[in-house]
């Protein structure tokens, strides 16, 4: 199964794909989609849609794991991210790719076993689980890889629990 993790945004969107087979994880590809700040916002959203569509066509993920949004101190930035996230969800929905959403604490719990792990701890554990030589850069890509791992570890756990019942 190929899981595509997405760290949503509108300036930088992180993506990280992993292949999962028989409890083994293998990094497939990671990177970012970037939009220029001088473009009008609606053009940035179209760019995200076009680039995400091309990415989905090239990668053929079985599922998408994406961060669930929460609004902290800066609601204006959060609204922009929500627009970008909506465009990403639309591109996936058009291709009928199942979408799974996780809160940051769920990602930390699934990857590190501790819901209050630091960003560096999550990145280092991601590196270890995928046998990478270094932590993925930029941070948006590293976060997206952790999103994919979260789904791989959570989905496996849920399936095993269902099979026992």
Q: CA geometry: angle at 68 spanning 85 and 18, to 5°? A: 80
Considering the candidates 7, 42, 51, 165, report the single residue annotated as catalytic: 7
Peptide bond into 138 cis (omega under 30): yes
Candidate list 19, 96, 139, 140, residue with the active-site label: 140
How far is 160 from 107, CA to CA, in rounded Å? 19
Q: Catalytic residue at 57?
A: no
Cβ neighbours around 32 below 10 Å, total? 19
Token look-up 């994880």 returns 25
Strand partners, 63: 3
Active-site option among 42, 67, 94, 139: 67
Q: Is 7 a catalytic residue?
A: yes
Beta bridge partners of 138: none
Whether 67 is a known active-site residue: answer yes
Catalytic (active-site) positions: 7, 67, 140
């Amino acid at each position: 199964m190929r899981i595509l993790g997405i760290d949503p945004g509108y300036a930088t969107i992180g993506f990280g794909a992993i292949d999962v087979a028989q409890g083994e994880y293998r990094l497939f590809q990671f990177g970012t989609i970037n939009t220029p700040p001088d473009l009008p916002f609606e053009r940035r959203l179209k760019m995200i849609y076009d680039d995400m569509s091309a990415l989905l066509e090239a990668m053929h993920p079985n599922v998408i794991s994406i961060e669930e949004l929460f609004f902290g101190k800066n609601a204006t930035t959060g609204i922009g991210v929500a627009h970008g996230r909506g465009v990403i969800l639309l591109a996936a929905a058009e291709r009928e790719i199942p979408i799974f959403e996780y809160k940051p604490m769920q990602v930390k719990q699934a990857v590190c076993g501790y819901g209050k792990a630091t960003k560096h701890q999550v990145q280092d554990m991601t590196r270890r689980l995928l046998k990478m030589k270094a932590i993925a850069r930029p941070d948006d890509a590293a976060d997206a890889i952790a999103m994919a791992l979260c789904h791989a570890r959570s989905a496996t756990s849920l399936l095993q629990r269902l099979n026992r019942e």
